[in-house]
Chain A
């Protein structure tokens, strides 16, 4: 199937590109750690307070890191004409776009899983919540990339789209934030989290199906 081939080719190329620009790709990760570090400095280092705030702090920071990394999703493709070539490909743009989003998540979302334990230790998150924190990151960071893709696709043609992008995307991130940090919060107090994880999974699956279409339409509008 040529379309499957094109889909993998996109993922492979974007991963290769990320590898060649690896210095750049680490930035959202540093940002994530840095923002989390700011909270104890701002609110004080009482262990009880930090422990109570940990799920929220980690998730708000993950959200901001995802937001910061979004720009790289379509920016260079837009600037160097690759996006035009994708539009002209006989394959469905939405499938190619899905490939790009997956590659973007592998590069920017997945690494957050690696530093999450470190931050959990920083903030004194109970060990029993660690597994849930990982699960929410696995389920919800792809959601951040997917939802964000629509926003980037709408603003990629603008020279100064950064602020606008956060205005468009952050309200749509609210449910992800609520269920993900809520689940970690409940896990920290030893409560069951099945419902929250199931909701996140349902949201992820529907986003995988629904997001590529408006993203492709928005990209067509941006290339205009």
Chain B
């Protein structure tokens, strides 16, 4: 994170249709290091679609995304971002350790090693448990551990607070605060309002277009 000052995600005039229905158009925003973007809006307003555009799963029908000033296809974007969605991307037949080792092989090493990360998400000692024996909250925390062990600047989180108790929510918020403080950034959707007062928070409210 040597030049974290210049790290930025910029969206310019994004439009998105779903089944010929306009979800949003000419949506522009920019996100600098140390900022969090919260996407709000009712179901069907295009939050998830926007998130999937940011991940590159969907193509925007118009507009362009820039990472550190260049188009994301020509940048190190995919090396610098990490995504946690509804499906957590872990294999339930494999153990916690096996899952994390695989995630590490797909990306590059990050701030913490596996032991430290498991400790931070309060899963220490679960290394050899198959994922299918974990509770929903523990699985979610496991997918957060993946964010900690791989190199990334931008976190994209789809409803990270679902199936978590208050303690779990606090944990995510503190992890996010730490990530932000170190010059990272995050984009997330959530029904749950963020309670962190000291967070540099931006909001985009999507309204279903008629």
Q: Do chains A and B touch in the complex (CB under 8 A)?
A: yes
B48-59: contact bitstring with A at CB < 8 Å (1 yes, 0 no)? Answer: 000010011110
What is the CB-to-nearest-CB distance from A7 to chain B, in angstroms, rounded to a whole number?
9
When distances are taken between beta carbons in the complex, the residues of chain A under 8 Å from B89 are 80-82, 84-85
Counting CB contacts under 8 A, is B83 at the interface?
yes
For the complex, count residues of A whose C-beta is within 8 A of B. Answer: 27
Complex contacts, A6 vs chain B, CB 8 Å: 105-106
Residues of chain A within 8 A of B88, CB atoms compared: 80-81
Contact check, A80 vs B105: say whether CB atoms are below 8 A apart: no
User: Which of the 9-residue segments B62-70, B91-99, B184-192 touches chain A?
Assistant: B91-99
Residue B78 CB within 8 A of the other chain:
yes
CB neighbours (8 Å) of B98 from chain A are 13, 16
With A6-B106, A13-B102, A81-B86 known as contacts, the answer to whether A87 contacts B57 (CB < 8 A) is: yes
Chain A residue with the shortest CB-CB distance to B131: A80
B15 on the interface (CB 8 Å rule)?
A: no
A223 interface residue, CB < 8 Å from B?
yes
Of A34-42, A88-96, A109-117, A162-170, the one touching chain B: A88-96
Instruction: Return the contact of A223 from the options B57, B91, B94 (Cβ within 8 A).
Output: B57
Known: A87-B57, A91-B106. A80 touches B92 (CB 8 A): yes
A80 interface neighbour in B82, B90, B106, Cβ under 8 Å: B90
CB pair A13 B91 closer than 8 Å:
yes
Do residues A84 and B106 form an inter-chain contact, with CB atoms below 8 A? no
CA distance A85 to B98 in the complex (A): 15
Q: Tell whether, in the assembled complex, residue A87 and residue B56 are in contact, meaning their CB atoms are under 8 Å apart.
A: yes
- Does A86 count as interface, using CB distance less than 8 angstroms? yes
Q: How far is the CA of A89 from the CA of B86 in the complex (A)?
A: 18
Q: Does A224 contact B (CB under 8 A)?
A: yes
Could you show 21 A-B contacts with beta carbons less than 8 Å apart?
A: A2-B108, A9-B101, A13-B98, A13-B102, A17-B91, A17-B93, A20-B93, A76-B91, A80-B88, A81-B85, A81-B87, A82-B91, A84-B85, A85-B89, A87-B55, A88-B83, A89-B106, A90-B79, A223-B57, A224-B52, A224-B57
